[in-house]
With several copies, the nearest count.
Chain A
Amino acid sequence: MSGLDKFSEKMTRRVARATSRRSLLTLIGGALTGAAVIPVLPVSRAQAQGHGGGGGADPIAPQTTGNPQDPGDQTKCDYWRYCAIDGFLCSCCGGSASTCPPGTEMSPITWIGTCMNPADNRAYIISYNDCCGRSACGRCSCNRNEGDRPMVRPQANNDINWCLGTASAIYNCSTAVILGVALEQK
């Protein structure tokens, strides 16, 4: 477990660096972290991209980073960083995979997932920061439940609205920010 301890210590430091003091205290003091929000999968499937009414056989235009080491379409649910995401993809809402749309506030309390990058075959720690203070974006609903656990384990639950510690708790969309590599190989 020493590897894991080291890992968790690193992660804690990263989180400490990345978030506000208040949220750090929250992390240390209580029930931790958490995932993005969600329209539940079967529901979101039915509604995905179908703004308001049966819409869109038409797809959202692909958005790629152009970096071969970061492959895939950030508007699609199967983009590698989204392995534990839940909610509307900020890439479709005026943000990007790692940036909130203008006018929203990024939640300092996040669910941390670990996703394999198929290009460099590394496992990355991904922070699923929700973007808050504006109504549900409504574009690119995405829900992946591998590893999701019920509300009894909040830090593994993606049904929670993680717009906590923000000026407004209204949920807009979710990002997938690279925090670092999960384990370093020699």
Chain B
Amino acid sequence: MKRVARAAAFAALTMSASMTVAADFPQPLAEEPVPSVAELPASYPDSWIFVHDFHGNSLIDARGVIVDVAADNNNVRGQIPISHFGSITPSPTRSEIYVGETFYSRQTRGERTDVITVWDTKTLTPKGEIVLPGGKRGQFVTLVNSLQLTNNDKWAMIFNFTPGSSVTVVDLDSRAVVSEVDLPGCSLIYPTGARGFASLCADGTMTSIALDAQGKPGATVTSEAFNDIDSDPLFMTPAMVGRTGWFVSFKGNLRAIDFSGEAAKVLGSFPIPAQSGGTPEWRPGGWQVISADRAGLLYVLMNPKGGEGSHKDGGTEAWVIDPVAKTLVRRITLKNHSISVEATQQAKPLLVASRPDGSLDVYDAVTGAFVRTVASVAHTPITMTAVRR
């Protein structure tokens, strides 16, 4: 008790001298309960996005940041950890968030454990984890297509790289591994049809693998070669319009792939209408360079200093493309050099551009008007995933 009294004395000593109560506030502020921990809605509003903070200077301490880009303040709503070169994929229908990650028993050394951690959207607490065998989870600067869902979000598929490629399929209900599918020469996961996935291959083709009800690989369909990897490769992350993925190439050609069927169907391609003023030319640039709104308009982050090797340099404008009319609808001049773009799936979409300094700039996607900056959201805001339903 003596110590408590002493602490109280200390507290009393630090009080300011004036103790007069202002007449306008007859009652003091109410006492507040402890402990008190915030909760989120189980289903997030469509103005929220997941920002993957890759954390360049502390790769083991990456995290996903949940951000409301439409609010005037209180924009950062929560964070969940994502270890070294991990992946984050939300499932709105299951009210869960999945994180593919790797732990060591002594943080950077010792025994390796790969897992998919299951997070509850409402409490942001881990509900469980699925241990992935073999220590083969692929580690690279995060791409959203490294961890994807299929089978009505009943299964997760995670990409392995050893440097041999494979995909591990896990059941999210039983939290058990269902199967592992070898994927020689192909990379990443683009869900197809009801149950299965496609993958982009080093020979320029796309391979589609259907999964049976037990998760075992069934028919494999390989497309014609369409990805000119040598001279004009596609960025790996498409903008999804329904089940159609819109990929953009280093040189600004747009390519649609229909993932609605059991096998991916490679559709047509058209160039972003050329614009003058580039030095030497306008090209897509950044990390996640293309996004789509609910109406199907595409937003491409463009770099005026386009050339060989410029593809990760970010951009200064977002170009709005109507892929049906094949027209450039609008050029949005960004306030700041940006590295990734994502459109919200609101009826009136917002366009979010992430900056190298960790802040997000938010634009009215319809008018291109700057709306706000959400400052210092992340150390390295490398990918963004808008809430989708």
Residues of chain A having any CB pair with chain B under 8 Å: 4-5, 7-8, 11-12, 14-15, 18-19, 26-34, 37-47, 49-56, 58-63, 67, 69-70, 75, 83-84, 91-96, 98-106, 108-110, 112-114, 116-117, 119-125, 127, 129, 131, 133-139, 141, 143-157, 159-161, 163-164, 167-171, 175, 177-183, 185
Contact = CB atoms under 8 A, between A and B. Distances in A.
Given A34-B163, A69-B25, 11 more contacts: A7-B12, A37-B140, A39-B141, A43-B356, A52-B378, A61-B75, A63-B74, A91-B74, A102-B77, A156-B10, A170-B60
Given A56-B376, A93-B79, A112 B356 contact: no
B7 A32 contact: yes
A168 B250 CA distance: 34
A119 B21 CA distance: 9
Contacts, number: 399
**Central interface residue in A75, A129, A155, by most chain B CB within 10 Å:** A155
A51 B65 CA distance: 13
B175 interface: no
Contacts of B125: 103
Contact of A164 (B61, B102, B162): B162
B163 A103 contact: no
A185 B19 contact: yes
Contacts of A114: 11-12, 14-15
A185 B28 CA distance: 11
Nearest to B110: A168
B18 to A, nearest CB: 6
Contact of B38 (A51, A99, A127): A99
Contacts of A133: 108-109
A126 to B, nearest CB: 9
Interface stretch (B29-37, B147-155, B272-280, B290-298): B29-37
Given A40-B312, A47-B380, A152-B236, A92 B161 contact: no
Interface in B310-348: 310-314, 337, 339
